[in-house]
Amino acid sequence: MRNIMELRWDPVLGEWVMVSSVRHARPWLPESFCPFCPGAPETGYGWKVLVLENKYPMLIPEPPQPPGHQFYVKSRSSGRTLIIVETPQHDLDDISDLDVESIKIVLETLKDLVEEERGKSYAEYLLWFRNKGVEIGVSLTHPHSQVYITPFIPARVERELANSRKFTESRGGCLFCNIVSVEESEKVRILYSNDSWAAFMPFYSHWPFEAHVYPRRHLQLLTDLGEGELKLLALTLKAVLCGFKRLFRKPSPYIMVMHQAPLKGDYSFYHLHFEIYGVMRGEGVLKYAAGMEMGGGNFTFDSVPEDNASKLRESILLCLQG
């Protein structure tokens, strides 16, 4: 296989595709050795949360210049691809199994990364995401999440930025603040809330069990959060993710993503939030992104968000009751 690492521009959809042949070599569910456990060559001992460079990266700080093409546009894969090992404990099922203070340490580590990377020349955006479950393609089960620091704004975030800017210019105020206000007023899709955060299943949910977590205060970056807000975020994520875990007899696989503003520029119309996509639509039944979703670009919803919100809210309440 050729050794290639580059960005390729899709002129039809107007978005970047990251190409990295080294990703092909990454291990799949190794049985005898965990590279994230204490005492492994990259980890050592005496840590609570650890940040590692991904050994099979999509992006690196100083990549080679790719050769040109007679028609298509290429660019350097500048950035970083990081792993956040969330705990030394290997046998936990999910980050929600950690106590609130331990989850807060994970978030503090992430916050420090945002502050560290925002001044780097290659850093246009920092995307934190967490994949849970082999159904999602998780290749290592030790609790961890990932960070991509990209030289471009991810396509989905670009759409959010465009629509939130349009809302602010045409109607005034923040689109996301209005969404939170409507959800809290109607209550039927609210999953959990506290003084600083509101979690709800969106009116326009794409995935069968989808949760969005919004700060009540209008802010753009994780670094804008105060100490108390960060602790309540840890509590909120623990509650909501525990709800996903207990929703069915088998813990539900999910994808969790942080959407914040780009690291450079003024995006005061935008609003930090977290999105969690639960991919089970029933007991033992996966929701697949198939023809209409992948080929057409529009999701189909096989139930009713308000009904599924009730089920997920009940699961979260059982978690809170112990």
- Tell me the domain boundaries of the chain: 5-150, 155-320
pTM of the model: 0.96
Q: What would the mean pLDDT of 172-190 be, rounded to a whole number?
A: 97
Nearest-angstrom CA–CA distance, 197 and 30: 38
Nearest-angstrom CA–CA distance, 217 and 202: 19
Same fold, 5-150 and 155-320: yes
In our burial notation (b when 16+ CB lie closer than 10 A, e otherwise), range 247-284 reads: bbeebbbbbbbbbbbbbeeebebbbbbbbbbbbbbeee
What is the average pLDDT score of the chain?
A: 95
Top-tier CATH class for 155-320: alpha beta
pLDDT band at 84 (very low <50, low <70, confident <90, very high): very high
Q: Which residue has the higher pLDDT, 236 or 135?
A: 236
* pLDDT over 70 at 252, yes or no: yes
Q: What would the mean pLDDT of 106-120 be, rounded to a whole number?
A: 97
- The backbone torsions φ and ψ at residue 228, rounded to the nearest 5 degrees and listed phi first, read -65, -40
Nearest-angstrom CA–CA distance, 308 and 314: 10
pLDDT band at 3 (very low <50, low <70, confident <90, very high): confident
Radius of gyration (Cα) for the chain, nearest Å? 20
Supply the pLDDT for residue 1: 63
Report the percent of the chain where pLDDT is more than 90: 88
Q: What is the topology classification, in CATH, of domain 5-150? A: HIT family, subunit A (3.30.428)
- Locate tokens 């049985």: which residue? 31
Give yes or no for a contact between 144 and 92, defined as CB atoms under 8 angstroms apart: no
* pLDDT over 80 at 266, yes or no: yes
Give yes or no for a contact between 200 and 211, defined as CB atoms under 8 angstroms apart: yes
135-136-142 Cα angle (round to 5): 95
pLDDT band at 158 (very low <50, low <70, confident <90, very high): very high
* Chain segment 202-246, per-residue pLDDT in tens: 999 999 999 999 999 999 999 999 999 999 999 999 999 999 999
Nearest-angstrom CA–CA distance, 104 and 231: 6
Supply the pLDDT for residue 180: 98
